[in-house]
Structures are given as structure tokens and as C-alpha cells.
Structure 1
Amino acid sequence: MNKPLLSMVMGLAVSMMIVGCSTSKQVNLVQISSSSPPTHPKYDTSESFSFSGSWPMPPQFQGNPFSSGGQGSAQTFEFDALFQYTRTTKNFVNELAQSYTNTPTQTIIHLRKNARWSDGSPLTSKDIWAYYMLQYTQVTDYLTSIQTPNPHTVVFNWAQPTPYNQMRLLLIAQDTQGMIPYHIYGKYADRAAQLMDEARKETKKWVPNNAFGLQIPTNIQKKMTQNYAAFTSDTPKLPICSGAYIVKSVNNTDLIMVQNPYYWDRKDVKFKEVWIKQIQQVPAQWAMLKSGQLDYYDGTPPQDVLMSALASNPDLVHFQMDDAASIGMYFNIRKKPFNNEKFRQALAYVFQRGKIRDVGNYYGIPSQYNMSGILPSTMNQAVSPQTRAKMTKYTYDPNKATQMLEQLGWKKVKGTWHEPNGKVPHFIIGANSSWMPGVLSGEVAAEQLKAFGIPAQLIAADPSIEPTNAQNGKYDMSIDWVDAAFGFTSSWNALDYMFWGVPRQEIGFSDITKKGPAGNQIDTGHPQVKLTGLDGESVDVNQYLNDYPITHSAAKRQEMTDNVVYAVNQACFGIDFFQNVTGAWANVKMLGGHWPMKNEWQKYGRNLPLPTNEKDYLQIANMNLANGTFCINWVFDYWPN
């Protein structure tokens, strides 16, 4: 790392004032390297798996995972799904599902006959059905209904035209279906199904992008809302679980889980207990990891902190892995001059992304393209070589930026740029104060804009207000996850997030509206956006997102993706600084296992780089507890020493 740059940014981090709802506070990253571990209860670590997490503090903590913030970090250990799914790899394996079959119109899933809830009740197809009656997830937009012909068979009935087979399984695999026991919450699921049947009678034709294709009249929607509120108000003290562990005790700082005595695969569960520590301050989390009080930790800190942790504890090993998101910046196109595509393209040549990466995440991977809507790591697989060759590469080029700004009528006077009307701009960049990689990246980006002659200031705002401010257009630019796939990793999923998720609000697209049942205008949640594709003609991203899952020709899907990614890269709605590289930490004194890349630990000083072979890549990807919807490989593939 460039030492002067590191010193500058660390100094900025130390002195930065964080803008919040009330008083300001100082952020000091140096504490991470120097803090002492907090005091904690004495407990037996010999057969436990311990890590840092979070959950709603008692008395808010309760047994309904869909009420008041859910279960927090415990959830991935408490509930099983039909398939265990790893987000960055698209790999999934059977979990509650014993087997499955695809027909032209159905996906038929056979459940494990020995699956039970933690109170001993059998887990049946009715439980899976109840989940979807009360949770309208992405897959329900493509279904007409779900049937339960017998206790161990679930039938997903697909709307016409149906999704292609791989898409079907990916849509299903995103969900954690073993969360709503019918024998506990059946009356709410039955009521939801009854109301859906009433809506089905009033739906004249299939409605795209609506759960089960239904158009819900206002009077029925009101009853559905009341029913769901009653469901989430039904809160037992502790959850009834389908997964490997159940909660034994919980307070503000410690959540202890023990093995589920009825779990279908309990013979393969290696740890007697899972012990989660809720540690509010990041320095304290790192102090506990370094002192050997945590067996596992997620994330990759600044390089100096990482190397300090490895040096202070020879039992720690850090495994780097791809994250399914980049750190970057959205432009607010509601404001001038960001509504001008040429201006946005000019700014894309100003940023030295490698230097931003060095501070935001030293191990991150800058992209040669701009924010394209898809993960940089998937570009070579998702987009054809012919299209990649035609895509503009936005590498650092201040001369190019100068030329483009001058063509727009901007003038540089005494080192400062003036708009065509003679005004000197002053741009505000918003960032979430609790997200240090974003704050540090945004600070360096602001410094680079100022060095180029464009006054810019980072405002690191409290997390209680920053997202709302960004989505409401309060900033000129906002730091966030960009080119992200928060479901399964595919071009369609990433573009779905960008244009139909939160980013569309940060960018500031106007939304398309339609007439509702009573003639009132309803926001569709789909943006009005003009894109120009490979052939120079208009590209409809909404049509792409609608058509891709139901396009069975792989060649046609390739053509569609090429066109949209090319257009998004050209439109320059934001900047992809670098794809994040995250990590998993293991205390190998406390944990045993068939460790990946073990013969290279000494070579890399126990800081393992991104793996280059598929076996290691898959194993390391499974280490990150945030990488899968319900990925608990640690308690199956590793064991207490």
C-alpha cells in the first residue's frame, strides 16, 4: 500500500466528524488494533463454536422469526430450507428436499420423511405451503399455486410461460422454507389462502410481478394485512426450529444454542453448542478474535489491522473470498448536472479506483468497466467476448475527463471547474457512518474530485437517516453496494436488484405507474429509464427483467444480457470502485477440519489469497456465514479440537 496515502486516509478517519441525528462523534480505527477484549462469562469452549453476531435484545427477542427483527445471527442455525444454497457459487444441495423432478409445468419436491420440528412434530409439505401463504418471495411471482398432494410432496405449479429449469431451482433455493410450522401458525396460513382464493375469483387475467399472478382488491388487501399482523404478533418465547440448533438461553450479550434433538441429520452435527457474542463495538470484536475468545469471524479489515491480528495470534488463519457486491457510488440523476449522461461519463475518468481500493478494501478488485449492473467477477462468463470488446473502459484519464467537460461548456479557472453558467459546483457525497469501508472509500473519492478541481464533500450520516436521505435524493452522490447480487449470483439477479430494488431510488429514476382496480394510479416499482444498446436502438430493461427467467433459449438469454450490460455500462449511473473481497477467520487451535489450502498457510503468512482452483473456491465460499441463505457448513464440516 502507498504509505503516504494510507497515513492521509487513516488521519481523515480519526478526525472525521460523523453526522447523525443528534451529537457528532469521533471515529478512531486505530482502536481496532489496540483494544483489550471485554469481560465475558466463563464458559466451556471445548465443544462449542463461538463467533460474534447480533440479535434483538430481550425483551424484544422472541420466537417468531418474522416479528420485530427476527432471530438475527441465530437464524441460519435454527431453520433449514429445501436446499442449502451458496450465493457466490450458485451451488445448492438438498436439505429438507430428498429429491425433485421438473415437468413442463411443475417442480415436484419430495421431502425427507425423518424431518421434524424441534418440538418433535413431523415437518410436512403443509409447513412448506404455509411458508408461501405468508411469505410472498420472488418465486411466487412465477407460480399459479402450490399443492400438497401428500405429507411429503410439494408441487410448485408454474405460470405460463414457465421459467427454464435451472432458474426454477435457483428461485426456490433462495428461500428458507422451514420457518413457519403449520401446527403452530396454521390458522394464519389458512386465512391467507382463503383471502387469496377470494382475490383469484376477482382476477380476470394473470398479473405479472404479483404473487401467484393475483391482483388484490383494496378490501382484500386490508384483510391480508390484518391477518399478517396477527401472525407476527403471535410470539412464543423461543422459536420452534427445523434446523440443527435451538436457542437455550439469550440475554443482551450472549446467545447460546444447543443441538436440536429431533434434527434429521443430527449425527453429523459436530458441536454441542453454538455460542454467539453480541459485541457492539468493532474494536472489541477484534480484540476478542485476537485474544482467542472467538473461534470464527466474518470480514476483512484494513490491511494494517489484518496483519496485526495475524501477528498477535499464530492460531488465526484468514481466508479471502469473493463478495457478491462491489463498493461504489450512485449518481443522483434527479439533480443537474448528473442528469446529463456525458457529464456522468466524464466523472468516471476522474477516479483512481486502485487508490480507493487500497483504503476501502486492500484486497478488493477494481473493474476496468464502469458500473455495469453485474458483478465484475462474472463479466467474462456473463457477457460475450464480442460485446466486452465494444464496451467502454472507464480507466483513470483526467485528460479525457477534461476534454469531455470542456465539450459540455465547463471551464477550469485557477484549478477549479466552473459550470457553463459560471457557477462553481459543490457536490455532497452521502455515506453510512457505520460502514467504514464505504466511508473510507467515499473520503478518498471526494479527495480525488477535489484534486481534479471539482469541490466535493463526504457526509458520513447516521444509519438511521442516511439510507432514507440517499433514496430521497438528498445527496448528489451516495456510497453503497453497487453491481450486487443479493440473491443467487447471476446477471439477471444483479440487474433485478439495480433496477427493481433500492438502487433505482438512489439513482432517482421516475417510476412507471398504472391504473389500479379503482382507477387510482399505482406505482409499479419499475423505473422509466432510457438505455441505448449495441445496435443504437432503445433497450427496455424492464422487459429484460420480465423475459429473462422465462426465456428457454440460452443463446437468446446471452443476446439479451449482452445488450443490457452494454447499455448500463454506457449510461454510467454510478461508479464501481472495486468488487469487495471479504474473508472468514478461523482459530485453528480451537477448531479442527479438512482445511482448504493448508499446505500454503506458511507461504502466505496465514492470509490466504483468493483461491485459483474450483475445489478450494467452493470450500472457502462456504465458510462465510453471510454467503448463503442458510449456510451452516462450519458445524458440519469442522469440529472442536
Structure 2
Amino acid sequence: MGKSHHAWWNKSIKAVLIAGLSVSLTACAQTKPAEQPQAAGTKTTEPAPAAKTPDQVLRLNNFTEPLSLHPGLITDVWSSNVIFQTFEGLTRTDKDGVPQPAIASEIKPSDDLLTYTFTIRDNAKWSNGDPVTAHDFENAWKWVLDAKNGSEYAYQLYYVKNAEAAFSGKAKPEDIGVKATDDKTLVVTLENPTPFFLELTAFYSYFPLNTKVVSANPDWAKEAGPNYTSNGPFKLTQWEHKTKLVLEKNEHYWDADNVKLSKIEMNIINDANTELSMLENGDLDWAGAPTGNVPLDAMQTLKEKGLLEITPKAGTYWYEFNTEQKPFNNKKIRQAFSYAINRKDIVENVTQGGELVATAIVPPTMFAENEKGLFADNDVEKAKQLLAEGMKEEGYASVEALPPITLSYNTEEAQTKIAQAVQDMWQKNLGVHVKLENQEWNVYYENIKNGKYQVARMGWTGDFNDPINFLEIFRTKEGNNHTRWEKKEFADLLAASAKEGDAAKRKAILQDAEKMLVDDMPVIPFYFKSTVYAKNPNLKGVVISGLGNVQYKWAYFE
């Protein structure tokens, strides 16, 4: 591929990197032949070269191998970064963050907002040319709600009538409130009026599946090839596991005329320094969020040079306790470990990405009050008091008597530095020895899901713009709740919020639920996230939502 739209980077970023950043440039270095001197007395008569049309090929780093590329199974940002480009739901969130008709050409809600009738576009097709039908949506949603398929995000469909009952075996699949009345008409009935429902239909758990392909090939999503059919702006044409993915423009996409990129090449390189080096050398067009991090050592200098982009994101970084493992089965001990952390020091001196200290779960974009938080940061005296009380309750005579404690995190520079800072704070403030353990993401996450950890780094970025999305994770022990914590009073509050039609009263109920969650402390909130990245300035039209999702549908190089 030509480098016509990458020359911008060399002068600006080299000055930054030469200034002392610990970034290795040798792996991707490029050389340019020296220009030959022109003979005296001669002059060139060649015409000036015509301006070159930039290649519409976007080169990214997806950072980590996707856990899955099945819309009903994914839960992680590396998988969703692919799925949001290759699939499309009944709606798509537009450049202003507002859900708009997508595969549905028409949407008719009933007056009581309990029934939605979606009309499928006549020109909606799968990447193999098959028509997208209403049956593809009905079957896909019911697949997610079949417990044997193991979808961790099944609860995202519980707003649909009888969906939760079907998932738990208390209702039949035919009782679920989604029905294709013909190929072009999908009728959805909800449990309660849900003001954010059209945002949900833009989320990947609600994406369709090609019924014909899925029925014939149960493993259709495990490899690129003719079986991998999608209905979004791009199609998956290459998947070299742990190395590279290639997406190409989907010529059958209903809105293909508005897709300018011809190809997206996604490397899988699990190193932020290498990623930034490749951006510097013109081998990538983007570094950082949503799938990776800008190297921490580079942050300040990049800021000073005006090369860093930082925007707020509706997400919360936290550590999770396994509440079924000692000593974190004790609430006071969990609180002690949380209060002993200096979050302000971490965001100012470690992450440096414009994050806000978080002593609550729901981001301030949803609960403005949470910018102040629900408890004091770095309350060391309170932490010591709670630890002593908790140890007494559990029969530990001293901190030396506590079970060995291991802090787990996935292999990544930023996670390592945060973990090291926390380890030091717990040693200094509580006198507790903590072992650090890191693993590659896929192995790490599998262990988290199976409860093979004590305390581990995790977090949440909103799937849709409502606080229920951050709280419903903890409603039961299933799905994305890896802490094994649950509380009937908490679940009852969430259920009550679903039936409350008054917005102010609903907010108050959800805030009461959050206070209960934070008081029991199954997770330690650290900070509210931000989206941090650097990019090729010739790249235009990339849409980053307030939830941190990135869409390349409208992207192009000028």
C-alpha cells in the first residue's frame, strides 16, 4: 500500500520520541534512499507529478485476539471492535449518538411503548447476497436466550417480554416477545416501557444471524471464509489468529454508497510501545483507544506537542473481588482494601489520561452527583480500622495471619503499573503483602469467569447510555458478574426501577441500589475512563461514541 497519506507523522512525532520516550523504533524502521546530486548545468524537464489519490485502506492494531466473533457470545472490546464494523442491528447509533433506523427502514412504537414493529429494508442483504429477514433477528435473539449457548450478555435482552423466564427455563422460546410475522416484519413486545430500547437494538447482542448459514454450519463464526456472513458495512475476509484480521467493504451492504474505506487491516500486537512506533513510521493510522493504550511514558510529551486526543467516556475502571474466597468474603476487609487506595495519585501520576477519580460505580455522564463520589478517596485511617474489625470477625490475629493474597491483571504496560502502585499502597497503608500475577488476556479472562482469582483488574464501559447498564451486572451471580456477589434487596431495587415511569423516582431507586452495591464493595472503583488516542490527521470521519465505541462506516482519508 502506498504511504501518501502517512508522511504527516514523521516530523511531528519523531521529535517527541527522540525527546526521551522509551519506545523502540527498530522493529518497524524504514529507510529512504539518499537523493542523487543533480549534474551542474542540467535541469529537469519532467512535469510535476499529479496529486495522488489517497489509498482508502485503514490500518489499525486490535491489540488482542478476539475472544469470539459471534455477536451472541462476545463481551470484550477487542471482539466488539470487529463486530461493530461487520454487523448491524435494527438501529445504528449515528454521529451524534442518537439511534437511527438501520436494517429497519421503519420503526413504529405503540402508544404505551410496549410494542415495537420493525420493517426490514428491502435492500438489506448479508455479505453472501442472501436477504436479511425478520426471521434472522428472531432466531438470533432466541439463540442468545437459550441458556445452553452460554451467552454472558443474555440479560441485555431481558427487557423483551418473557426473555428472562425463557432463559431460566420458566417459559418456552415461543413465549418470548419477538416474532417475525413475515420476512419483512418483526414485532417486539417488552416487559415494561424501556426508554433506551432503540439504543439496545444497536448493540451486538441484538444483531441478527444468517439463519440459513448458522443452521448448516454451527461453527460458522470461528474462521474467516464463505461461512462467515455478516450484514454490516464491512465483511471479514481474513483472520490469522493472534496475528491479523482483514475487513473489506461489503458490496452487499444496503448503505454501501456511504462507505468510503475499501479495507481495514487489523494487526494483533499486544504492545503499546510497538503500536506507537508503527504509527510513527506510517505503518498504522491509529494508536490507543478503543482497543489499546497510549504508552504511559509517552503521554505527557504527546500532550505538550498537541498530538494526543482525550475525550470523556462512560466507563469505570475497577478491581473485582472474588467474594467467595477468603479473606474477601468479609465486607469490612473488602472496604479496607478499597479505602487504602490513593486514586488521585494513580490518575495523576500513572494513567495520566484525563481520568476522573471514581468512588462510585455509575459514571458522572449518567449520575452527575458521582463526580463527588460516595466515599472518601485514600481514607487510610478508616481502612486500618475496617481491616482490624474484619480480621477480628474472621478470626485472624494479625495481617500475617491473612491468607496469601494475589492481585491478577492482564499482560499490559498500563495494568502492570497500576497493579504495582496498588501493591505498594496496600503494603504501606495496611501492612499486607500482595503477590502480582499477570496473564495474556484470553487465559486471564477465562480464569476470571471460572472464579480462579482473589482480586483482579476489570471494569465496565457502557453498552447504552443508562445507569441500569452498570448496575444490572450485579443483579445475579451469572453473566458478567464475576464477583459471586448478589443481594436480594439490590435485585429488588433494580426490578422496581423497571416498573417506575417517573424519571426522577426511577433515578432515586437506582441511586439507592448503587449505594447498596458500593457499601458491600464487591468491586473497587478507581476512576472514570477517558478515550485516549493519537491518529493520522489525514484520517477523517471516524465516529467515537460517548461509550467509547468506534465506527469506521463513515471514515476516509483525504
Same fold by TM (over 0.5)? yes
Distance in 1 separating the partners of 2:286 and 2:524? 33
3-state SS, counterpart of residue 478 of structure 1: strand
Q: Residues 146, 506 of structure 1: CA spacing in aligned structure 2 closer, same or farther, 3 A cutoff? A: closer
Amino acid at match of 1:429: T
1:345-384 aligned within 5 A:
345-367=335-357, 369=359, 372-380=360-368
Deviation at 1:285, TM superposition (A): 1.9
3-state SS, counterpart of residue 204 of structure 2: coil
TM-score by length of 1: 0.64
The reply on whether 1:496 has 2:472 as its aligned counterpart is yes
1:120-269 aligned within 5 A:
120-136=129-145, 137-138=154-155, 140-141=157-158, 142-143=160-161, 144-158=176-190, 162-175=191-204, 179-185=208-214, 187=215, 229=218, 237=226, 239-249=228-238, 251=240, 253-269=243-259
Distance in 1 separating the partners of 2:313 and 2:510? 21
1:27-42 aligned within 5 A:
33-38=23-28
Deviation at 1:155, TM superposition (A): 0.7
Residue matched to 1:570: 519
CA offsets 1:141-172 (integer angstroms, 9 cap, x no match): 323332223432211133xxx32141433333
Distance in 1 separating the partners of 2:328 and 2:80? 38
Q: Residues 230, 429 of structure 1: CA spacing in aligned structure 2 closer, same or farther, 3 A cutoff? A: closer
Residue matched to 1:291: 281
Deviation at 1:324, TM superposition (A): 3.5
The reply on whether 1:561 has 2:510 as its aligned counterpart is yes
Residue matched to 1:591: 539
Amino acid at match of 2:407: G
Residue matched to 2:5: none
Distance in 1 separating the partners of 2:398 and 2:262? 70
Identity %: 16
Deviation at 1:280, TM superposition (A): 4.7
RMSD of equivalent CA atoms: 4.1
Residue matched to 2:12: none
3-state SS, counterpart of residue 33 of structure 1: coil
Distance in 2 separating the partners of 1:259 and 1:573? 44
The reply on whether 1:396 has 2:396 as its aligned counterpart is no
Residue matched to 1:477: 455
3-state SS, counterpart of residue 500 of structure 1: coil
1:395-544 aligned within 5 A:
395-404=377-386, 420=397, 423-425=400-402, 427-463=404-440, 466-467=444-445, 469-470=447-448, 475-481=453-459, 484-500=460-476, 506-509=482-485, 527=486, 529=487, 540-544=489-493
Q: Residues 459, 569 of structure 1: CA spacing in aligned structure 2 closer, same or farther, 3 A cutoff? A: same
| Mapped contact 1:54–1:72 kept (Cα < 8 A) | no
The range that moved more, 329-338 or 484-493, is 329-338
Distance in 1 separating the partners of 2:387 and 2:138? 57
The reply on whether 1:326 has 2:325 as its aligned counterpart is no
Q: 2:119 aligns with which of 110, 115, 137?
A: 110
Q: Residues 501, 76 of structure 1: CA spacing in aligned structure 2 closer, same or farther, 3 A cutoff? A: farther
Deviation at 1:467, TM superposition (A): 4.2
| Mapped contact 1:375–1:485 kept (Cα < 8 A) | no
| Mapped contact 1:485–1:493 kept (Cα < 8 A) | no
Distance in 1 separating the partners of 2:209 and 2:224? 12
3-state SS, counterpart of residue 166 of structure 1: coil
Amino acid at match of 1:573: P
Deviation at 1:447, TM superposition (A): 0.5
TM-score by length of 2: 0.73
| Mapped contact 2:409–2:419 kept (Cα < 8 A) | no
Q: Residues 342, 155 of structure 1: CA spacing in aligned structure 2 closer, same or farther, 3 A cutoff? A: same
Q: Residues 290, 164 of structure 1: CA spacing in aligned structure 2 closer, same or farther, 3 A cutoff? A: same
Residue matched to 1:639: 556
3-state SS, counterpart of residue 177 of structure 2: strand
Deviation at 1:183, TM superposition (A): 4.3
3-state SS, counterpart of residue 561 of structure 1: helix
Amino acid at match of 1:479: R
| Mapped contact 2:406–2:434 kept (Cα < 8 A) | yes
Residue matched to 1:5: none
Amino acid at match of 1:123: V
Q: Residues 78, 39 of structure 1: CA spacing in aligned structure 2 closer, same or farther, 3 A cutoff? A: farther
Q: Where does the alignment leave 5 or more consecutive residues of structure 1 unmatched? A: 1-29, 189-227, 411-417, 510-526, 530-538, 596-618
Residue matched to 1:627: 548
Amino acid at match of 2:233: A
Amino acid at match of 1:126: H
Distance in 2 separating the partners of 1:421 and 1:331? 21
| Mapped contact 2:490–2:513 kept (Cα < 8 A) | yes
Q: Where does the alignment leave 5 or more consecutive residues of structure 2 unmatched? A: 1-19, 31-52, 146-153, 162-175
CA offsets 1:359-410 (integer angstroms, 9 cap, x no match): 54212534363xx4423543326x7x9xx8xx85222233343455566787
Deviation at 1:352, TM superposition (A): 1.3
CA offsets 1:264-321 (integer angstroms, 9 cap, x no match): 212211223223333354432221112122122332424422355678xx8x943212
